[in-house]
């Protein structure tokens, strides 16, 4: 999913290639597993509250959107009922649904802090939800994630609205280059590396052959300058990442984070989040 340089570290080329190999190998393996086998284990928030300010449920549109969010967050999984709450006009929404599975839904209370129009007209809104825990005195707050979802008017839908991912909207103007099975999407300022792209394509085919799996028809790989830039494009405006030895998922900086693959499964995205 993303091409990243960790801070100002100068990362060893060999380490970058090892990591991108792991990234693509996991993507091929994950693509061969039916989604229903590994995406059902999301932990919904135990409660969904509404911010005292900024969310006016007396507005008909806002009230309907809040009901939609509550309905989805009660079971943020891949069941048929949950999928009907997602917009289907965009290919990514239709095929994958919620890209935040494996990130936001960790059994932490949720608060809807904003439901605002995304631009002129009233057909698309942006909903912001914060996931956080607090001590009994509510003095120490531990945020887990700040989520941004788009909400699209859909007259025939149960709530009159459907959910949509941020990623296709926020990256639609990014340059894209298709090399074999991989579509590379480049954030502003990122450069095309044709040699590395060709190596990645050959590696995907070799992994599929090694495990006797049909290679995926397409992988979308998002090339960004940092973890934060990728997460923002994904619709996660805040997500704590491990920052050193002793924190879950940390690895030596030489391991680098050369990329993230988005139409790989959430299982892959979670496993690769270091």
Instruction: Give the residue among 94, 244, 17, 194 at the shortest CA–CA distance from 186.
Output: 194
Give 61-85 as a DSSP string.
Answer: HHHHHHHHHHHHHT--SSSHHHHTT
What residues contact residue 101 under an 8 Å CB cut-off, 6+ apart? 39, 42, 76, 77, 78, 266
**Structure-token pair, residue 249:** 């998922």
Give the tens place of pLDDT for each residue, 211-241: 888 888 888 888 888 888 989 999 999 998 7
In which residue are the tokens 């496993």 written? 271
pLDDT of residue 261: 53
**Structure-token pair, residue 103:** 């990130």
pLDDT of residue 15: 42
Give the tens place of pLDDT for each residue, 240-265: 876 655 544 434 333 333 355 554 43
- pLDDT above 60: residue 33: no
Q: Where are the domains positioned within the chain?
A: 13-33+170-271, 48-165
Which residue would you say has higher pLDDT here, 263 or 45? 45
Measured in whole angstroms, how far is the alpha carbon of residue 152 from the centre of its chain? 18
pLDDT of residue 153: 95
CATH topology of domain 48-165: Nuclear Transport Factor 2; Chain: A, (3.10.450)
pTM for the structure as a whole: 0.76
Percent of the chain with pLDDT over 90: 40
Average pLDDT over every residue of 24-52: 66
Measured in whole angstroms, how far is the alpha carbon of residue 18 from the centre of its chain? 23
- pLDDT above 60: residue 209: yes
What residues contact residue 1 under an 8 Å CB cut-off, 6+ apart? 23, 221, 222, 230, 234, 259, 260, 261, 262, 264, 269, 272
Say how far apart CA 218 and CA 64 lie, in whole Å: 36
Are 179 and 197 within 8 A, CB to CB?
A: yes
Say how far apart CA 242 and CA 272 lie, in whole Å: 12
**Structure-token pair, residue 115:** 């439901």
Instruction: Tell me the pLDDT band of 34, cut-offs 50, 70 and 90.
Output: low
**Structure-token pair, residue 262:** 């988005």
What residues contact residue 247 under an 8 Å CB cut-off, 6+ apart? none
Which residue would you say has higher pLDDT here, 78 or 55? 55
Give 125-163 as a DSSP string.
Answer: EEEEEEEEEE-TTS-SEEEEEEEEEEEEE-TTSTTSEEE
Indicate the length of the chain as a whole number: 274
């Amino acid at each position: 999913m993303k091409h990243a340089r960790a801070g100002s570290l100068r990362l060893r080329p060999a380490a970058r290639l090892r990591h991108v190999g792991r990234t693509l190998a996991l993507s091929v393996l994950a693509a061969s597993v039916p989604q229903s086998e590994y995406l059902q284990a999301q932990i919904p928030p135990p409660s969904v509250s509404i911010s005292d300010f900024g969310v006016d449920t007396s507005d008909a549109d806002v009230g309907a959107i809040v009901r939609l969010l509550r309905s989805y967050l009660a079971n943020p999984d891949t069941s048929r009922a949950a999928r009907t709450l997602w917009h289907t006009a965009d290919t990514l929404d239709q095929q994958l649904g919620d890209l935040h599975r494996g990130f936001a839904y960790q059994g932490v209370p949720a608060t809807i802090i904003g439901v605002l129009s995304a631009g002129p007209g009233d057909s698309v809104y942006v909903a912001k939800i914060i996931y956080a825990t607090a001590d009994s005195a509510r003095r120490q707050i531990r945020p887990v994630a700040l989520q941004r979802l788009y909400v699209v008017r859909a007259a025939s839908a149960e709530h009159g609205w459907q959910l949509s991912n941020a990623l296709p909207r926020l990256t639609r103007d990014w340059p894209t280059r298709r090399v074999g099975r991989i579509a590379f999407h480049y954030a502003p300022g990122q450069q095309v590396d044709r040699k590395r792209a060709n190596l990645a394509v050959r590696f995907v085919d070799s992994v599929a052959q090694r495990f006797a799996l049909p290679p995926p028809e397409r992988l979308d790989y998002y090339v960004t300058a940092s973890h934060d830039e990728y997460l923002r494009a994904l619709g996660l405006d805040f997500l704590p990442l491990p920052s050193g030895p002793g924190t879950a998922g940390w690895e030596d900086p030489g391991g680098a984070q050369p990329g993230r693959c988005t139409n790989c499964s959430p299982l892959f995205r979670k496993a690769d989040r270091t």
